[in-house]
Every structure is written in C-alpha cells, then in structure tokens.
Amino acid sequence: MFRVQCQAFLGLLKASLISTCRNPSSLVFGFLFPLVFILVFGVMGEHPTKLNVGVISPGPTGNAVMHALGESKAIRLLTLLPVTKMSAELKAGRIAALVSVRFSESGKASVQLITSSAAPEQGEIVRQIVGGLVTKVNFSTAKITPVVGFKSAEVVGRPFKSIDFVLPGQLGFALLTTAVFGTSFLFIMLRQTLVMKRFFTTPVSRFTILAAEGGSRLIFGIFQTALMLFIGVGFLGFTVIDGGITVLSMMVLSILGLTVFMGLGFIIASVASDEKAIPPLANLFTMPQFLLAGTFIPIEVFPNWLQPVSAALPLTYLNDAFRKVAFEGAGLWQVWPQIGILLLFGVVFYAIAVRVFRWE
C-alpha cells in the first residue's frame, strides 16, 4: 500500500509540475511580473535623482556662485529652457526652483531663489543647498577665518541599495500569488472536470493528493526564489551578506511562506463556486499585501493609522525576514519573531481550511 501511495505521489507531482509550467498565468505572475518590477525599480533606484533648478540669469561667466551650483551633486541646472517655460514648470512642481545671479556695479553678487508651493519639500532642500553654497563662497572670497571649527568623519558602511529593498518584496509577493492562485485554481479545476471523483475510485489517499499538489507548488516556488536571487545577485548587485548560507536561509523562508500561503489558497478554493469567482476573492487578500506589506514602500512612511493594517498582513513578516537575512546577515534563529507570526497565520489558515474545504 505504501508503495502504491509513493508511486501515485510521484505521478501526481510530475503531472502538477508540468501543468503549472504550461500555464501562462503561472509563468507571467510567478516569474515575468516580479522580474520586470525587480529590473525596473532595482535599476532605476541606483541612480539618485537630482533636483532640477532653472537658471534665469547666470551672471558673468565663471562667477564663483554659478560654479559652486554647477559642482553640486544634488542639483541639475537647466540653462537652455525659455524663462516662460521654466516658470510654468515651476508652478506645476516639475522644477524645484529658479535661480538668478546678478552683480552690482561695485561687484557685489546677489542671488535670488524662487520656489513654488507645488513642491515645497524640494524647494526647501534647494534653499538649504544654495544657502550653504553662498555661505561657503562668502567665506572663501572674504578670506574670513571661521570662529568655530568643524570636523567630520566617515565610518565604513554597507550601502542599502534599492534592489536590497525591492527584490525581497517582489519575491515574497511572487510566492504569495503562486500559492494562492495556483492552489485555488488547481482544486477548482479538479472538481469541475470530475478528476477528483476519478481519484476516489483509485487507492490514492486524499493526503497523497494534497502532498503531491503542495509539493509541486514548493518546487515551483524554489525555482522562483533561485531565479530571482540569481538575477539579483549576478546582475543587479543584490546583497547576500553570507553568500551560500544566506541563499539557503532564504530558500527555507520561501518554503515556509509558500506553505503558509497555500492554506489561504485552500480556503479560497473552497469558498469559490467556480474559477470566475477566484480572482476577486484572491485579490481581496493579495492586493492589500501587494500595496501595504512593504513590497514597494517601507511601512515606516505610511501614516500612523495605516501601519497597524500592515502589521496584520502575513506578507509583511516574510518580507521583513527576507531583508534581515539577506542584508543584515541574520540567521533563521534571529528572525524567530517573524517566523513565529507566519506560523501562527498558517495555523489559522489551515484550521479554517479544514472546516470549509470541499473535495467535491
């Protein structure tokens, strides 16, 4: 009997994997979309955006003020646009400020800065930068000895790149969609095509069916994780601080996340009347996590009233565990709070699934 169950398990596992790989939706949502987001946000984030500042009047050629502004790494000077065009862009918030430098007959420079209420944060940043540069030029030109000395030091650190935030979030969401959509669509299809009834005429146990289908999702998810890590580490500079140990830890977390999220897939497969009902039900659970679980935006920047909602989403803890393991070098035993909360969600999901799951 055990041999029969093993043969059935391997056969069902192979068939499920082939079906998943032939399903365009699985490939698009499991691989293509996450990889596109990783490439777009990962690459885009590595090039810091400069603030655009339009130049109305640059003053005499080579003056110290314009030279200092041109050397700033945070400002991009726009000198070729008409003044009317720059004024319109300023009012629309697409230019941070307008600057003009004029000199009196005595040779004294005057710097005028115009900002807009359409982009107050950018205007304030430019105001501070220009004010600091003007002060620096004044000191260097007047040969004044500063009364207060100032020294600074720099410690060696590890930069937290955009890809270090984006990839774990996209990986977590890819695993979520694979588990929820893959599991729910599969069991709806098995019921509607009466394949499930045919299973019941064979010696194959229900546990073997569940184990085979769950195993295929786990194998598919491991390939997802491996491919994203390969592209992230090999081409985009994603940080895996402890190399192979970090990769192995992320694989373990991926398996844990998939297992927990499959419980949610079982619930949706039981509640949905047919395959048309799956997308709205699944999106009801996945879209809030896509937006609020730290997938694209750090939870800390959300309003205080919204952060408890993020804390109630299981994907939040998987994403957090991924980032701590990859960038901070935390071991699995050091992210036990995140793992514990994920396991708690898993217990809840499977407890509900046991009560509502329908085989026929």
| Tokens standing for residue 208 | 């073997």
Mean pLDDT highest for which of 6-20, 285-299, 317-331?
317-331
DSSP label at 144? P
| Tokens standing for residue 242 | 């402890």
Burial of 17 (0-12, 13-18, 19+ CB in 10 A): middle
pLDDT per residue as tens digits for the range 311-338: 999 999 999 999 999 988 899 999 999 9
Does the pLDDT at position 266 exceed 70?
Answer: yes
Q: What are phi and psi of 76, to 5 degrees?
A: -115, 115
Structure confidence at residue 201 (pLDDT): 67
Strands 51-57, 75-78: pairing is parallel
pLDDT per residue as tens digits for the range 153-185: 555 667 778 888 889 999 999 899 888 888 888
Structure confidence at residue 144 (pLDDT): 61
**This prediction's pTM:** 0.75
| Tokens standing for residue 112 | 């005028």
Q: Calculate the alpha carbon distances from 11 to 196, 208, 266, 327 in Å.
A: 15, 11, 21, 40
pLDDT per residue as tens digits for the range 37-82: 777 766 655 555 688 888 888 877 767 778 888 888 888 888 888 8
Structure confidence at residue 9 (pLDDT): 75
Q: What is the chain's length?
A: 360
Lowest pLDDT segment from 20-29, 141-150, 345-354: 141-150
Q: 3-class SS at 104?
A: coil
Does the pLDDT at position 255 exceed 90?
Answer: yes
d(CA 349, CA 263): 5
d(CA 134, CA 202): 84
- At position 71, the amino acid (one-letter code) is E
Domains of the chain: 26-45+161-356 (no CATH), 51-142 (3.40.190)
Is residue 307 within 8 Å of residue 299, measured between CB atoms? yes
Strands (E), the chain: 51-57, 75-78, 97-103, 109-115
What would you measure as the largest C-alpha separation in the chain, in angstroms? 102
Average pLDDT, the chain: 82
Helical ranges in 272-313 per DSSP H: 278-292, 307-311
Does the pLDDT at position 147 exceed 60?
Answer: no
| Tokens standing for residue 110 | 């005057």
d(CA 265, CA 286): 11
Structure confidence at residue 360 (pLDDT): 63
Q: Look up tokens 């020294």; give the residue.
A: 151
